[in-house]
A and B are shown apart, each in its own frame.
Chain A
Amino acid sequence: MRFKDVFSIIGPDMIGPSSSHTAGAVRIGLAARQLFGRLPQRAELYLYGSFAETYQGHGTDVALAAGLLGWGTDNERIPEALAAAEELGVELVFIPSQGIVGIDDFDVRFSASFPTMVITHSDRVGMLAEITSCFSQNGVNIGSMDVDRRSRSGEALTVIEADSSFPEELVQAILEIKADLSIRILDLS
């Protein structure tokens, strides 16, 4: 089932005019901010397809800015987000473009609809088994998973979408697997 609950039909609570090009853009901005970890000083925003063609009319620009500022889809200040970003000294560049990039140039896909853990680690035998066993030991169910690596035995990026948020013990357990491993958490729920 693509739509899993009643609030994916009635909802979201949002600022118009478009679920995809406005509310969706706020969520993309929020996801980028959470992955980055803080408010960026400068961001280049690449717009693809219909986002490139109609972003101004849909307020996609202000919506992306609002997300980067950490605002939610229902924040009534969204129309003023570009001005607010400027006041905070954030430089935003909108670039109509083609093609899709992932995270840190890793080709990974995720929906940001669920609590999401982004793990950077080295690619070696058993790594994923250890990570997933931490999940099962902490009673967190994995909904979907995507992995990409730079090369065999090189750096890898694993994205895990879960059914519930991540307890601190789980994060700690995974961090203890290996010293060069790092975790970023994305949770828009």
Chain B
Amino acid sequence: MRLLIESLGFGIASGAIIALGAVGFTVQFGISNVLNITYGALMTLAAYLGYALLGAGVNVWVAMAVAAAAIAIASALLNRGLIAPLVRRGTGFVGVVIVTVSAGIIIQYCIVAIAGADTISYGQQAGSTVSGAGFVFTTSQLVIIAITVAVMLALHLLLTRTQLGRAMRATSANPVVARSCGIRTDRVTDLAWLITGALCGAAGVALAISTVTFDFTIGPTFLIYMIAAAVLGGIGQPYGAMLGGLVVGVVSQVAAAYTSPAYQDAYAFAVLVLVLMLRPRGLFASGAAARRLTRA
């Protein structure tokens, strides 16, 4: 029983990191209809920026904020300079995906060229251990969980209580109609990429804090879990992505506690397949983004 509770806690901690990235990924897709594989490489870039800042003596949470801001700008520039022009010229869904794959590879090449291919380490940033009710967390895990929850609430308020949020939802539902209603969908999309880029950057640093040591493959390796979480929750659904992240994290950690850890990911993806067989558009899906994805 103790191991079960502990592993549930570990799963929540892992799931929070997945959710942090997955929420950004799924919102980005929901609003812009771009399956942005560059997201993984931008996470890597954030992790390396965090490393550079730590090396300069910056506090790890400040480093996370700075990296998030930097990746937010990089993400917006990526959309404005590369993705949006392609979409305007009529490049198809798959074509744009391939471009994001290519851009991700280029970013990885640049990281390796500058920082090298060796593993690097944040060192011990976990902080002290906190126990209670059978759960064991580090302070850094608690902070990341808190950040994820706060992001979730902020996104909820943004999407439901602000004019920008309504514009985002309108753009997500039908960009043509949204434009005809006077919504500047390009600007809305830019802002969406800026916000989700920040989440991507924060997730990259959070991941590096968790793994402690990493190399240039950290982001793309982790992206598959975030995509799984986003799809599990219903693509385009921030709440779904959060729940999906928790499911992936908890299932893999509980599986590692009770079966061979070598197969912990297999269990998580088996749950994904099972859920999609029962609910083809994911746990929360009902929106346009999910319909677009199932058509794509």
- Asked if chains A and B come from one complex, the reply is no
Chain B residues at the A interface, C-beta cutoff of 8 Å: none
Chain A residues at the B interface, C-beta cutoff of 8 Å: none
